[in-house]
Structure formats: C-alpha cells, structure tokens
Amino acid sequence: MKVAFNSYLFVFGIWTSKEMSETPNAKHLVIFDFDYSIVDCNSDTFVNSLCPDSIVPERVNKEYDGNNWTQYMAELFKYLHECGVRRDDYEKCLVKMPFVKGLNDLILNLKPKNNADDDDSCGEDEYELIIISDSNSFFIETFLEYNGMENVFRKVYTNPASFDTDGCLIINEYQRQTFCNISAVNICKGHVLQEY
C-alpha cells in the first residue's frame, strides 16, 4: 500500500511538494539520521571507549582509506572481540549515548498514537517516522530499546549488524552503490528516501 505524505521533515530541514500538500488525509513523513541527529555523538566512535585505554590501535586505524568506513568498523569490531568485548559491554556503552537536546521529547510527541498501550490514542496517525543512517542496526536498536522507542519508528534503514556464534559483532553494508558520488559507497540516503 502506498501512503501519501503532506511533507517530509528532516531534523535539518523541511521539504514539501505541492502535490503532496494537496493530498487529503496524507501523513507527514519525519526522517531522522541517527548520529548527531538523535544521539549527540558519532555512535561508531562512541564505542572507542571500549578499547584498552580508549585508544584505537594504529593497525586498525590504518585500515581506513577515506571511503571504506563500514569495513573499518568491521576491523574495529574484530579488534574489540580480541580484547574480550562482548555484547553486554557494547550495550552498557551504547545506552550512555546522549540524546540531542530536545529530540527525546520531539520523538515522543510525534510517535504513532494508535498503539494499544497508548492512552491518548486519537485515531489516524499524523506522522510517520523513519531513520536513515550510516550507523548500524545493533547500535540503533540497542539505543531505541533502552529508551522505550523500539516501536516508534516505522522503518530503520542502516547497515545490518549482528553477533556471530563466537560473539563478534559483524557489520555489513546496507548497499553497495556507485550512482551517487556525494554519498558513502555503502548507503545513499537520498536513494533510500526516494525508494521509500
């Protein structure tokens, strides 16, 4: 089912098309990034505190060539695994990420109201919230669950991440794209939004 939207709200701006604003009963699509948009930090570098002395070793740093951040993070996760970092260590770290000031309240005010446990349900939801981020699914899901927001966002578009049987965090690219030269090779947020 296709849903019409009256407007798109980014945390850094609003875009509305004339066609959408004339569509009756259309929702407002609110699009969030994650790093420096919901959390007031870079979630990827926030976990550097899990390294011994909070220092990423040079052998890991030299893996980054300026265009392969996701592969760099995969190497960092391998290193952290070698250091004995486990899922619960990541979770304890990630829940300490600070919200961007006011974003917690904004998200809770825009969240869908038609949940069964929502006392102030008022019928049709006016807003649809999504996240498009170059972070990863484990980081985002951990933070959202800790803050009671696991059911607020309709969809999260990000790099998939999960733990292997040995307990090492594994990250994969959301996509491999070559059509947009202003985006990271692993995700073009504009393309994701157009497809949505």
Catalytic residue numbers? 33, 35
Contacts of 62 (CB under 8 A, 6+ apart): none
Does 118 count as an annotated binding residue? no
Contacts of 149 (CB under 8 A, 6+ apart): 107, 108, 111
60 to 28, 77, 88, 90, 135: CA distances (angstroms): 42, 10, 22, 18, 18
Other Cβ atoms within 10 Å of 61 Cβ, number: 12
DSSP symbol at 71: H
Does 119 count as an annotated binding residue? no
Between CA 56 and CA 59 the distance in angstroms is: 8
Does 166 count as an annotated binding residue? no
Does 40 count as an annotated binding residue? no
146-154: long-range contacts, CB 8 A cutoff, minimum separation 24: 146/91, 146/94, 146/95, 147/99, 147/104, 149/107, 149/108, 149/111, 151/112, 151/115, 152/107, 152/108, 152/111, 152/112, 153/32, 153/129, 154/112, 154/128, 154/129, 154/130
Binding-site residue positions? 33, 35, 44, 134
Which parts are annotated binding residues for Mg(2+)? 33, 35
Known binding positions for substrate: 44, 134
